[in-house]
Structure 1
């Protein structure tokens, strides 16, 4: 398989959490049209679980993410992606590296719009939900989210997933939360947190399911192969 231009080198800001980054990399490889090993992209990955480890969490992660982006750029990356929804709070700090960022949240919105959906359910943490609401409003999409008590249940489940609990109970709880969004009128459900697709799949839902991680992987491949 020959390309008119050599593919761009992708830099991935990861570690938020580590399992979600590995899921993104697997989906990136699966999304790449490759007849042989050499057709795959060159990918530089910084898995840095410490970036949001301080008291400020993701709110204070801007300088760390900016440093990761600059490091990936200096190592040869030409395009960046962040394998975490909440870290997009600091998308501008990452773009300050001078490299283009394939925006995960914008990508999920484009995928939802491709389904002609007007009401889209989002499973995600509070900061990411605010980013989704803003992105969706620009795309004439209404974001449907969990009630406060359901969101508490979602956050508890998320921490269990981050600790490696990917068993039937976690899958069942996540599916039940997704069904609540459908009950509120969601025509499509978006995995707006990179841990969600670790326990939820299209087969679990009666409406279309958008795995934002997978959508990001596909778009990264397209951008890098444009050369």
Structure 2
């Protein structure tokens, strides 16, 4: 338990990967209409790049990352944070298990992203650009279906290969190559007549910067998560109503 002066309000499970966490931090700062430093939200970012590969674990059907994620959530709870954000889409495969043991509310990144999509989109299908593990888990597809939107990724391996490459190149720090791979993925969406896509991997917004095709709605799940966290913390009544 921290002292009251240094209590962080937002806890972030990060490092998955480090650039994606830095991007999430920047978006959280940008979401606050601050006039000075003190207007910003106090937060604790726990960056643990050593958490085992999430995508591979989901596809292989094992829970190797779960003990690490549980410990990260417990550590943030020990700091008495009000809410927790996990700056990794695939890690939300274990959302239920993590939420059950957390005093602080964990904001689900897919809920934030789909809420953002519904505010801007009236169509009935969207692509989900994500790791193979996130897609295998199915939580985006389920939530989209519940919202009346079908997950329709381009058919054939080239689209997912391009998404995988964009993610990998961001992790390697090869941002120009990442942008080219992301542009190729967007082109496959355009060729398939898709007008909306969700960037459902926290590396992808970095790769997508300045690459979004004209006329295509692209939802940044990291930005949606940051905005939701800020809104919940700046409006406690909204948070209470959401919990009812």
Normalising by structure 1, we get a TM-score of: 0.89
- For structure 1, the residue ranges without an aligned partner over 5 or more in a row are 1-6
Q: Is the 8 A contact 2:11 2:85 kept in 1?
A: yes
Q: What's the RMSD between the two structures over aligned residues?
A: 2.1
CA distance in 2, matches of 1:29, 1:66: 26
Instruction: Please say if 1:13 is aligned against 2:21.
Output: no
Q: Secondary structure of the equivalent of 1:204?
A: coil
Structure 1 equivalent of residue 168 of structure 2: 159
Instruction: Please say if 1:70 is aligned against 2:78.
Output: no
Structure 2 equivalent of residue 105 of structure 1: 110
Q: Secondary structure of the equivalent of 2:170?
A: helix
* Deviation (angstroms), 1:203: 5.5
**Which of 60, 64, 67 in structure 2 is aligned with 1:60?**
64
Structure 2 equivalent of residue 128 of structure 1: 134
Q: Is the 8 A contact 1:105 1:132 kept in 2?
A: yes
Q: C-alpha deviations, 1:81-103, integer Å up to 9, x for none?
A: 11110000011122121221111
Structure 2 equivalent of residue 4 of structure 1: none
Q: Is the 8 A contact 1:123 1:178 kept in 2?
A: no
Q: C-alpha deviations, 1:12-58, integer Å up to 9, x for none?
A: 01111010000000000011111111110010111011112599646
Q: Number of aligned residue pairs: give it.
A: 220
Structure 1 equivalent of residue 239 of structure 2: none
Q: Secondary structure of the equivalent of 1:60?
A: coil
Report 1 or 2 for greater relative contact order, CA contacts < 8 Å, sequence distance ≥ 6. Answer: 1
Normalising by structure 2, we get a TM-score of: 0.83
Which runs of 4 or more aligned residues in structure 1 lie more than 3 Å from their structure 2 counterparts after TM superposition?
53-59
Instruction: Please say if 1:187 is aligned against 2:195.
Output: yes
- For structure 2, the residue ranges without an aligned partner over 5 or more in a row are 1-6, 237-244
CA distance in 1, matches of 2:38, 2:68: 32
CA distance in 2, matches of 1:100, 1:136: 22
* Deviation (angstroms), 1:204: 2.3
Q: C-alpha deviations, 1:58-109, integer Å up to 9, x for none?
A: 6421121111111101012110111110000011122121221111111111
Residues 94-103 or 210-219, more deviating: 94-103
Q: Secondary structure of the equivalent of 2:208?
A: coil
